[in-house]
Amino acid sequence: MNYLCLSLGLAAMLAVGCARQNEPVPAQIVREAARREVEAARDNLSGLKGAAMVMKGGELQGGDAQGRPLWSLGASEIRASGQMRGGLPARATLSNARATLYREGKPESSLRAPQITFFNSANGVRLQLQGGISLQSAGPWTGARGAVKVRAVRGDVDVKTRVISASGGVAMSQGGVEVTGQTLRAQTSLQKAEIAGKVRAKSPNGQIEAVSATYDWKKGRLAAQTVTARREDTQITGKMLEADTAATRGVLRGNVVAKSARGSARAPRIDFDWGKDFISAANAIFEGQGATVRAAKVQTDKQMRIASASDLTLQKDGATLRAAFANGFDGLERLRGREVRFSRGDLTFSAPSAEARKSGAGWILTATNGARGQNASGRVSAARVMWDESSKRVEASGGVTMQKDGATLSGATLSTDTKFQNARLSGNVRGKMKDGSTLSSGKLEKRGERYFASDGATARLKSSGAVGDVTLRGAQIEADAAGATASGGVTVTTATGAKAHAPRAVYNRKTGKITATGGVDFFDPARGLRQHGDTLVVDLGRKTVSLSNSRGQADMKLFEGKDLF
């Protein structure tokens, strides 16, 4: 149902004729005059056949099958031409025009333009808007976000298909979101709009650039192609973006690259949430700050400072660090990880959990739940290990084991250089040397190839002699490859059970002799022999014993015996 409404001012003037100014005009006369003017206008329009008619003011309207308004046009001037179709001209040009589009009889959008050209054909009504146009959505669906507004150089409305097109430079906005582009294609409700050509969008949370973008304002969703998203000094580019209309939270896919002053990351997909201050990338490679990071998943803040990573491989300054999961990052100079493996040069370090911290040219590795570290010089394992490359120190505690040149030492605590040349162990120390000799004490100090055991020491020395192993016990024992020296309440015991007690005893591995001095008590339980003397010499190879100034079961200047040991 269509209508043509003209200005009623002229009709009223004709109706009153020459009536005096102060004489009231009956309402019926005015209405009748208006009716006649409208009918005359319709009759005139019906016979236009290409001629034009100009009307000052007025309105064109169209309705649906239920009689509800579908569209309406108003203007300061209407120039109509062409044959009438359904009570409307085939064409009309409206100046200083406005239009309202309806859905189910309710306004859904309004339009304004300096000029609107109206076309009425068998395909329906179409509007061309020129001279700088503005559109605005209506209806409750916009909610607190407010109306969607569009400005463009020109536009076109197909009332039948409910499509609005705009070109010549387009600006679209809702709330704090502002979008610009070259062309626009949208629903007449403006609930959904496609914008293309050098698309730029900005909101309080950032900016995007794209070749094209689709805004679903009703659902608050955005889809864009060939995109660059920016927030502060961080930039993310990719082929496809899915986000909220403000581009606060979204997903970029397809050859995605994120860049900031701290470096760049490449990934097939990057998720971002500027509001929660995070960027998340899957199967990512990060390069920056002198390092390369590969991870199955990495999360950073909006400035691309890494917060956490899974299946991480970090390469920096010749070091490679791997972790099943890592967090506690301080740039790329510090992190905490699970299932950590570190390597650099000949050093390898592994732990169920550990902290790695850059220090000078090296790293400090600290583990508190079990760790193993080794290099070409040796290895260490303990419940807690701190390996400092910078100071070249290793500190360990809790079930410590150290291995060096075929020797294995264990204890409660360890402090050593990273070459394991000089080390201190304490707390129930146990040691096994390359030749099979063993050592135990409360404390042990290793200086190069010499060992200093104290706080109650016992050494079980391998002997090439027929008597087998020899055991030395004393307050302290010094041992090396050449032999051992025990002092402080020394007890020498052979495999046969023979014993000697003295203040000091020396074992010479090369000669196979044990020399005890300072007053010696000798006892052979197998023979029931007890002797005391000044100096005892035991030849393990010849199985002989000599004791000077011997006293006991036999007093003599020199006591000698064979097969006593």
Q: Could you confirm whether domain 328-338+347-427 is CATH 1.10.3720.10? A: no
* Residue 35, phi-psi category: left (phi > 0), alpha (psi -120 to 50), beta (remainder): alpha
> In the predicted model, is pLDDT for residue 24 greater than 60?
no
* Average pLDDT rounded to a whole number, residues 235-242: 96
Q: Which of 158-162, 259-263, 536-540 has the highest mean pLDDT?
A: 158-162
Task: Give the domain 433-565 fold.
Answer: lipopolysaccharide transport protein A fold (2.60.450)
- The pLDDT of residue 16: 34
On the question of a common fold for 328-338+347-427 and 433-565, the answer reads yes
Q: Is the pTM of this model over 0.85?
A: no
- The pLDDT of residue 481: 82
136, 93 in Cβ contact below 8 A? no
Specify burial of residue 526 (Cβ count, 10 A radius: 0-12, 13-18, 19+): exposed
- The pLDDT of residue 464: 58
Kindly state the helix (H) or strand (E) to which residue 543 belongs, with its residue range: none
Sole residue written with tokens 């190069």: 448
Domain map (residue ranges) of the chain: 328-338+347-427, 433-565
At 559, the pLDDT band (50, 70, 90 cuts) reads: low
> In the predicted model, is pLDDT for residue 554 greater than 70?
no
- The pLDDT of residue 553: 56
Cα dihedral 466, 467, 472, 473, rounded to 10, equals 160
Over residues 203-232, the pLDDT tens digits come to 998 899 999 999 999 999 999 999 999 998
At 11, the pLDDT band (50, 70, 90 cuts) reads: very low
At 23, the pLDDT band (50, 70, 90 cuts) reads: very low
> In the predicted model, is pLDDT for residue 412 greater than 90?
yes
* Average pLDDT rounded to a whole number, residues 467-482: 86
Q: What is the C-alpha separation between 386 and 161, in angstroms, rounded?
A: 73
* Average pLDDT rounded to a whole number, residues 296-305: 92
What is the DSSP annotation of 370-422? Answer: -EEEE-SSEEEEESEEEEETTTTEEEEEEEEEEEETTEEEEEEEEEEETTSSE
At 552, the pLDDT band (50, 70, 90 cuts) reads: low
Over residues 344-401, the pLDDT tens digits come to 999 999 999 999 999 988 999 999 999 999 999 999 999 999 999 999 999 999 999 9
Q: What is the C-alpha separation between 291 and 302, in angstroms, rounded?
A: 19
> In the predicted model, is pLDDT for residue 57 greater than 90?
no
- The pLDDT of residue 84: 87
- The pLDDT of residue 49: 46
Residue 489: CB atoms within 10 A of its CB come to 13
- The pLDDT of residue 1: 55
- The pLDDT of residue 2: 57
- The pLDDT of residue 79: 94
549, 532 in Cβ contact below 8 A? no
At 462, the pLDDT band (50, 70, 90 cuts) reads: confident
- The pLDDT of residue 433: 86
- The pLDDT of residue 86: 80
CA distances from 342 to 223, 236, 348, 418 (A): 43, 31, 6, 15
Closest CA to 356 of 334, 372, 389: 334
> In the predicted model, is pLDDT for residue 560 greater than 90?
no
Closest CA to 97 of 137, 130, 62, 138: 130
> In the predicted model, is pLDDT for residue 192 greater than 70?
yes
- The pLDDT of residue 34: 43
User: What share of the chain in percent tops pLDDT 70?
Assistant: 87
Can you tell me whether residue 538 is helix, strand or coil? strand
